[in-house]
């Protein structure tokens, strides 16, 4: 895998650039909610990592939470804790706890370094195994494109990939723990994915109903719920 510190460095640049090129929501209330949920989950993550002797994994995180005004049901987290939620997912999240489901899930992908795995594979395939720093220097645009794809940022421009089934399952479980520790009822996740399942229309790969199927996901979440409830700080 690529050293995580290199990807964190890349995310600082790419996140700022993304924000400068996209419309940040001017809705004060919704923006505050995104930042509030993010702050609570960040505290929960720090606590969880400390309990598991993994604090070094987030030592160079500089959390940031932004709401982007775009009608696409999506969200993502770059390494280093750079999070974007799109306004288009709020009709599905509905409540603050619903938003915590989504943000917990996306943050879990970053904490579990799923993007790193995808980025490492992509660099290997697309550049024949160049070191990341070399790839950044010699093919900056291509490398940036791979980065955006690996972290699910490209959804709205059609270059995103679904995470693998095992990544999804891990992010679901870890996400439930994070939201529960942050004070949100993890049971809300079942309701959120139920709403996703009922909705038709175009969804980005991260929220495709076929991956895993909504039924499988909801069954898995329900099976894990007794464990998640143990972390729930009411």
Contacts to Zn ion by CB under 5 A: 163, 168, 171
Minimum CB–partner distance for residue 190 and Zn ion (Å): 16
Helix (H, G, I), strand (E, B), or coil: what is residue 3? coil
CB-nearer residue toward Zn ion: 11 or 74: 74
Residues 6+ apart with CB under 8 A from 73: 86, 88, 89, 91, 92, 196, 199, 203, 204, 207
CB-nearer residue toward Zn ion: 168 or 214: 168
Minimum CB–partner distance for residue 163 and Zn ion (Å): 5
- How far apart (Å, rounded) are the C-alpha atoms in residues 67 and 102? 13
Query: What phi and psi, each to the nearest 5 degrees, are found at residue 107?
Result: -65, -35
Minimum CB–partner distance for residue 127 and Zn ion (Å): 26
CB-nearer residue toward Zn ion: 127 or 169: 169
CB-nearer residue toward Zn ion: 38 or 135: 38
Minimum CB–partner distance for residue 130 and Zn ion (Å): 28
- How far apart (Å, rounded) are the C-alpha atoms in residues 107 and 112? 9
């Amino acid at each position: 895998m690529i050293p995580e510190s290199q990807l964190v460095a890349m995310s600082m640049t790419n996140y700022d650039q993304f924000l400068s090129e996209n419309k940040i929501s001017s809705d004060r209330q919704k923006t505050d909610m995104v930042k509030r949920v993010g702050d609570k989950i960040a505290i929960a993550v720090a606590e969880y990592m400390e309990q598991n002797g993994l604090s070094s994994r987030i030592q160079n995180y500089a959390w940031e939470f932004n709401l982007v005004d775009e009608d696409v049901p999506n969200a993502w987290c770059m390494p280093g804790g750079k999070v974007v939620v799109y306004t288009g997912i709020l009709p599905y999240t509905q409540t603050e706890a619903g938003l915590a489901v989504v943000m917990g899930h996306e943050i879990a992908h970053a904490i579990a370094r799923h993007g790193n795995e995808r980025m490492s594979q992509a660099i290997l395939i697309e550049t024949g195994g160049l070191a990341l720093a070399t790839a950044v220097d010699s093919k900056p645009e291509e490398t940036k494109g791979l980065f955006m794809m690996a972290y699910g940022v490209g959804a709205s421009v059609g270059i995103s990939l679904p995470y693998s089934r095992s990544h999804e399952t891990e992010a679901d479980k870890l996400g439930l723990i994070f939201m529960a520790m942050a004070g949100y009822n993890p049971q809300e996740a079942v309701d959120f994915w139920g709403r996703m399942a009922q909705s038709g229309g175009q969804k980005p790969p991260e929220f495709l109903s076929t991956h895993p199927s909504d039924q499988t996901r909801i069954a898995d979440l329900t099976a894990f719920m007794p464990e998640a409830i143990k972390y729930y700080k009411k």
